[in-house]
Amino acid sequence: MTFKEQILQGIPAKLPAKKNYPREANRAPKRKDILSLKEKQLAIKNALRYFPKDWHKELSVEFADELKEFGRIYMYRFKPDYKMLARDISEYPAKTQQAAAIMLMIQNNLNPDVAQHPEELITYGGNGAVFQNWAQYLLVMQYLAEMTNEQTLHIYSGHPMGLFPSSKNAPRVVVTNGMVIPNYSKPNDWEKMNALGVSQYGQMTAGSFMYIGPQGIVHGTTITVMNAFRKILKKNENPNGKIFLTAGLGGMSGAQPKAGNIAGCITICAEVNPKAATKRHEQGWVDVLIDDIDFLVERTLKAQQNNEVVSIAFIGNIIDVWERFDEENIFIHIGSDQTSLHIPWTGGYYPADVSYEESNILIKENPELFKEKVQASLRRHAKSINNHTKKGTYFFDYGNAFLLEASRAGADVMAKNNIDFKYPSYVQDILGPMCFDYGFGPFRWVCASGKPEDLDKTDKIAANVLQEIMENSPEEIQLQMQDNITWIKNAKDNKMVVGSQARILYADAEGRVKIATAFNNAIKNGEIGPVVLGRDHHDVSGTDSPFRETSNIYDGSKFTADMAIHNVIGDSFRGATWVSIHNGGGVGWGEVINGGFGMLLDGTNEAEEKLKNMLFYDVNNGIARRSWARNDEAIFAIKREMERTPNLKITLPNLVEENLLKELF
């Protein structure tokens, strides 16, 4: 059968032969054995409803084995045999180009070069899934192939509920992931519901089909690292030999070494999984691979002496590096951590003094002991960080719940008031006030033709647009504009493409609208093929996350999720091709609500109208919320936007003198 024929058939008419898992695959860790006997039977019953009754006897045994071995039913037998990658948009069997664009993005998210655990449909973050199982993938692709531009596909945590009549202006797909009743939003609730096959964790962009590999976060990481050094280095201080120490190379964390190179420092990134570290080295995301800590010390000192800009992946535990550098008195300028501590008990963070292989056995056979070892390591980890910060190291939480889980483990990470953490989140200190409050966030695009020359042309278009905007930009955002222009001009040289021909660029609403309009005109003129627009949920408006994206909201509303919900609803009727809303993402299930979108530019006047309407709202919704929280930069930004846009009327806060409050209670 051809690729198109396989897509169109959906669930095969004939039961395919059972497959063996490839030995070289980077397997997802076994999930917690949390279901009762009756619940395990229910999980099998739920899985079998995708298939004809004649297959149930054979599949029930197989699915039970999967549940025992993996803690999940992935239906690996039904993984298609064709190569999984983003094809030219014209190669997909579809009645509408919008549907073909979504198919392209789904396959890009499952491309083994992009995905962390592709056999289990997990894109990044240890558990960020596109679908729960391969039957869902087959059905979704079939529905997209059949869809007209007057239908909408509704997807519940990976499950395609079906095609519903809608209209040309409606989104083609609406995705929800993990949207459970609030009182059932604890980690064990996710473990149980995911094992039952009724809910999933879509991370931030996996379940939205908008992940583009480590590049997806590398620009934000670069901005964060550059501005972290700007905060601590004196104006005339020699910046050579400065060190950035962190951990994690599996998913989005894989961007850290590349960002360090762009920022011009020595980056040391520890990763316990040898396959993950080797993969990033082979892809060119990290320069040097080291598995001996003595040699790491030697190589770091050499890099400092020679004023090198180099990134080093240490295959081992980050705690050993912090402690050894303390003993050797190697000064760490900035430090962070981007391990997946939103899933601390299932492979998101590995304890010291236990090997990677032994840890995976403990996760499966003795989860309580594994949890004890993780918490002991978190206390030890924090203690060593504290030793370094006393010497002047600037440490920030990179938002994957390091400080949150360390505090729960009893580590010394709390401020004197015992309410706040002693170290800031990077959003509190850097991205919030310097980017999000002004409306700058991670704008993304994917060239649907798959042609590198199309990406080159879009890079040039974006750079020219930003240069024109900067000439009339106020002083308050000149630094952001210059950083973004420098970024896009050097993007190709930094070789960040993995999978699809994609790019990320921090831009505000004005920049996004003008860049997208220029793209649409280039498509109309036949200069480039269609372009898919999107963004990371880690943005101005998309995410309500009290320990990350909205951690610089101080009016008491940081635990509310109105902004993210309004974002996805507002985008849906303003022209998005698909929209998504998730529970969980980056910092963990129950800790965040985040929404995203995708939009196809096809060169039409309708696309131009939609992009102007939707992109404007997508950003300014968040600036309005941040201004109401009394954030000075956001008040400046929304006032400026109201001056330019007569139809925009935002409720502004009246500021209160602090002295008025002191004697009231």
> pLDDT by residue (tens digit) across 547-591?
889 999 999 999 999 999 999 999 999 999 999 999 988 788 899
Residue with tokens 């101005």: 540
Do 145 and 162 have their domain in common? Answer: yes
pLDDT in tens, 42-98: 999 999 999 999 999 999 999 999 999 999 999 999 999 999 999 999 999 999 999
Does residue 607 or residue 431 have the better pLDDT? 607
Q: Which of residues 425, 450, 467 is at a domain's end?
A: 425
Q: Which of residues 392, 425, 458 is at a domain's end?
A: 425
| CATH code, domain with 284 | 3.40.50.10730
Do 317 and 448 have their domain in common? Answer: no
Tokens of 278: 């080797």
The answer to whether position 170 is within a domain reads: yes
Residue with tokens 């965040």: 592
Please state, as a whole number, how many other Cβ atoms lie within 10 Å of the Cβ of residue 141: 25
Do 142 and 241 have their domain in common? Answer: no
Q: Is 125 annotated as a binding-site member?
A: yes
Do 498 and 597 have their domain in common? Answer: yes
Q: What is d(CA 115, CA 262) in angstroms, rounded to the nearest whole number?
A: 24
Q: Is 116 annotated as a binding-site member?
A: no
Question: What distances in angstroms separate CA 40 from CA 52, 193, 195, one per listed residue?
Answer: 20, 11, 8
The answer to whether position 663 is within a domain reads: no
The answer to whether position 201 is within a domain reads: no
Do 184 and 40 have their domain in common? Answer: yes
Q: Is 584 annotated as a binding-site member?
A: no
Q: Is 392 annotated as a binding-site member?
A: no
Do 44 and 181 have their domain in common? Answer: yes
| CATH code, domain with 635 | 3.40.1770.10
Do 146 and 219 have their domain in common? Answer: no
Q: In the predicted model, what is the mean pLDDT of the chain?
A: 94
Do 381 and 477 have their domain in common? Answer: no
Do 251 and 298 have their domain in common? Answer: yes
Q: Find the helix packing angle between 187-196 and 37-48, rounded to 10°.
A: 50
Do 189 and 318 have their domain in common? Answer: no
Do 402 and 492 have their domain in common? Answer: no
The answer to whether position 654 is within a domain reads: no
The answer to whether position 657 is within a domain reads: no
Grouping H, G, I as helix, E, B as strand and the rest as coil, residue 443 is strand
Q: Which of residues 378, 396, 425 is at a domain's end?
A: 425
The answer to whether position 462 is within a domain reads: yes
Would the pLDDT of 166 be above 70?
Answer: yes
Nearest to 392 by CA among 331, 447, 452, 337: 331
Which residues make Cβ contacts (< 8 Å) with residue 114, sequence separation at least 6?
108, 123, 211, 212, 213, 498, 499, 500
What is the chain's percent helix, strand, coil content, to nearest 5?
A: 45, 15, 40
Total domains present in the chain: 3
Which residues make Cβ contacts (< 8 Å) with residue 460, sequence separation at least 6?
none
Q: Is 203 annotated as a binding-site member?
A: yes
The range of the structural domain enclosing residue 302 comes to 214-425
pLDDT in tens, 9-57: 999 999 999 998 888 888 888 888 999 999 999 999 999 999 999 999 9
pLDDT class for 239, splitting at 50, 70, 90? low
Do 352 and 436 have their domain in common? Answer: no
Read off the pTM. 0.89
pLDDT in tens, 475-532: 999 989 999 999 999 889 888 888 899 999 999 999 999 999 999 999 999 999 999 9
For residue 364, give the amino acid letter. Answer: K
Would the pLDDT of 216 be above 90?
Answer: no
Q: Is 251 annotated as a binding-site member?
A: no
